Every structure is written in C-alpha cells, then in structure tokens.
Amino acid sequence: MGITSGLVLYAVIWFMAFFLVLPFRVTTQGDIGEVVPGTHAGAPEHHHLRRKAWITTGLAMLIWAVVASIILFGNIDIKSFSLREFFQG
C-alpha cells in the first residue's frame, strides 16, 4: 500500500466514522424549548462538533491501523471468505 492509498483509506474511514459519531449527544432546539422562528425544532442547538471531530480522528486512526495491517501483512485473504465452505459446514 502506497502513501496515497493509505491517505485515501484513512479519509474514507474518517468520514464513515464521523457520520456515525455525528448523531450522538446532540441537543436540539426542541429539547431546550427555545425554537427560533423559521427553524425546525429538531435543529441542533449544541452539536459539540470539535469534540466529535477529535473523537473521530482517534477512532479512525485505530480502525485504519487495523485495516492497514491486515492489508500490508496479508493476515486475511480472499479464501477466508468462501461462502461455499460457510454453508457446507
């Protein structure tokens, strides 16, 4: 795996993790009871975006390290995912 493919892999993992982390600990305007006219009650009031970005960065580094080591060292190959062996027992 080259440098470019490693960076692309990290970016994909980072954005996937970020989209998973985004909904956690969101306080909406409806939760607080102060809905700004013209906005939806589900609009976020406190989103904690900086903290979520840091959490995502750490989580993505961990996941990337595992995936990169599997790719580089070949611990898992395509033969490990044979459906024929799975259904035959």
Distance CA 89, CA 85 (A): 6
Q: For 5-50, write each residue's pLDDT tens digit.
A: 999 999 999 999 999 998 888 888 887 888 888 888 887 877 888 9
pTM as predicted: 0.72
| Number of domains, the chain | 1
pLDDT at 86 over 70: no
Question: What does the block give as tokens for 33?
Answer: 């009871």
Q: Extract the runs of DSSP E, i.e. beta strands, from the chain.
A: 27-28, 44-46
Task: Name the residue range of residue 63's domain.
Answer: 3-88
